[in-house]
Amino acid sequence: MTLDVQSRPGPRPLDLRLYLVTDTEMTAQHGLTSTIRAAVAGGATVVQLRDPDASDDEFVALGRLVRVCLQHTGVPFIINDRVHLVEEIGADGAHVGQGDLDPLVAREQLGGHAYLGLSCTTAQEVQAAAALPPGTVDYLGLGPVRATATKPDHAAPLGTDGVSDLADLAAAAALPSVAIGGIDVSVAERLRDSALGGVAVVSAVCAASDPEAASRQLRGVWDDQPVSS
């Protein structure tokens, strides 16, 4: 049965201020779940599990660990790409790219109560997302702002000044949006007053010697609050 997305009840709005995307190799120094716990303690508001090299079975095992890790935190748990595993893992939703499952198909598979995010790089992709039936997509991931080693096959960075270009893209988006791709404190500072709902980070937290402190600093920058030492 096709989901009537226009009557979709939907989940509560996402707090996108600090959206953590995991990298299993980068988190090896502290462990995946320890890094996630530290990031949440530091202010992460969403966690997305991403591991393109894992088999479905391995991904499910990781996902269940993350689900337990996030229990009672109130932080939504998103999985990257593998829409068909959301229910098995017990995640709160999925995020797809332009080359992944079509958003309409993804929404039909997810049903009405799960989150669905979509990556966009160009104005045309943002316009296409805005033209989808209301309720299909909950938020957009815009980027990459800068080149990043965490996703070698990413789209070309956004122009000569990715920060300004991304701010313009966010202003034109009809959906809540989060910036991704090479985000660090300096980039977050420049994006803070844009139409974006927040920033998505990978290495800035996953590769940090102190993931909690790194997360707290990023949240402090985004919220424009002093960070206590």
Query: What pLDDT does residue 166 have?
Result: 83
The verdict on whether omega for the bond into residue 157 sits within 30 degrees of 0, i.e. cis, is no
In which region does residue 226 sit, left (phi positive, over 0), alpha (psi from -120 to 50) or beta (all else)? Answer: beta
Domains belonging to the chain, first-starting first, are 13-223 (3.20.20.70)
Distance between CA 126 and CA 106 in Å, rounded?
Answer: 17
Distance between CA 23 and CA 6 in Å, rounded?
Answer: 35
Distance between CA 191 and CA 224 in Å, rounded?
Answer: 11
Residue 120 neighbours by CB distance under 10 Å: 24
Query: What pLDDT does residue 60 have?
Result: 98
Tokens of 184: 């660090």
Amino acid of residue 92: D
Question: pLDDT tens string for the chain (229 positions)?
Answer: 345 555 556 668 899 999 999 999 999 999 999 999 999 999 999 999 999 999 999 999 999 999 999 999 999 999 999 999 999 999 999 999 999 999 999 999 999 999 999 999 999 999 999 999 999 999 999 989 876 655 555 455 554 456 778 888 888 888 999 999 889 999 999 899 889 999 999 999 999 999 999 999 999 999 987 665 4
Distance between CA 73 and CA 76 in Å, rounded?
Answer: 9
Helix (H, G, I), strand (E, B) or coil at 77: strand
Residue that has been written with the tokens 């995020």 in this structure:
95
Distance between CA 19 and CA 115 in Å, rounded?
Answer: 14
Amino acid of residue 104: L
Distance between CA 95 and CA 87 in Å, rounded?
Answer: 14
Query: What pLDDT does residue 160 have?
Result: 44
Q: Is residue 215 within 8 Å of residue 42, measured between CB atoms?
A: yes
Query: What pLDDT does residue 78 have?
Result: 98
Q: What are the residues whose beta carbons fall under 8 Å from the beta carbon of 134, sequence distance 6 or more?
A: 5, 6
Query: What pLDDT does residue 1 have?
Result: 38
